[in-house]
């Protein structure tokens, strides 16, 4: 009888853990789907506001400086959503934006005595 009770408790506990894991997996799937939808919306907005050359430049910047590319993309998307971008952004304009967004390089000087 005691063994049966222990088995029943173990079985219930196992079922609870399996149900909890299933809920966690479903939540992760929902989050991943939401992330994919947001990424697709971002790409669509960028495709609409960037000329092809500017889009290529931003993709290359993403390889070298992903945090800068992300910041510039978010800024451009915010401007587009607020209606402050009236025309497609050219490669030249994107260069100017990137110059302002890129961190300043420190110049190293060696002084010989």
Domain ranges (residues) in the chain: 2-100
The per-residue pLDDT for range 4-42, each reduced to its tens digit, is 888 999 999 999 999 999 999 999 999 999 999 999 999
pTM passes above 0.85: no
Which class is 2-100 in CATH? mainly alpha
CA distance 33 to 43: 15
Kindly indicate the confidence band of residue 52, based on its pLDDT and cuts at 50, 70 and 90. Answer: very high
Kindly indicate the confidence band of residue 110, based on its pLDDT and cuts at 50, 70 and 90. Answer: confident
- C-alpha angle with apex 91: 86 to 96, nearest 5 degrees? 85
Burial class (CB in 10 A: 0-12, 13-18, 19+), 72: buried
């Amino acid at each position: 009888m005691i063994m049966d009770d222990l088995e029943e408790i173990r079985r219930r506990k196992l079922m609870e853990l399996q149900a909890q894991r299933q809920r966690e997996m479903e939540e992760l799937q929902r989050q991943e789907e939401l992330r994919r939808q947001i990424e697709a919306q971002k790409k669509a907005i960028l495709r609409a506001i960037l000329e092809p050359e500017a889009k290529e430049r931003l993709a290359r910047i993403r390889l070298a400086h992903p945090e800068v590319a992300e910041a510039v993309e978010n800024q451009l998307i915010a401007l587009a959503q607020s209606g402050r971008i009236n025309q497609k952004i050219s490669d030249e304009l994107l260069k100017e934006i990137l110059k302002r967004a890129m961190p300043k390089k420190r110049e190293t000087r060696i002084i010989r005595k």
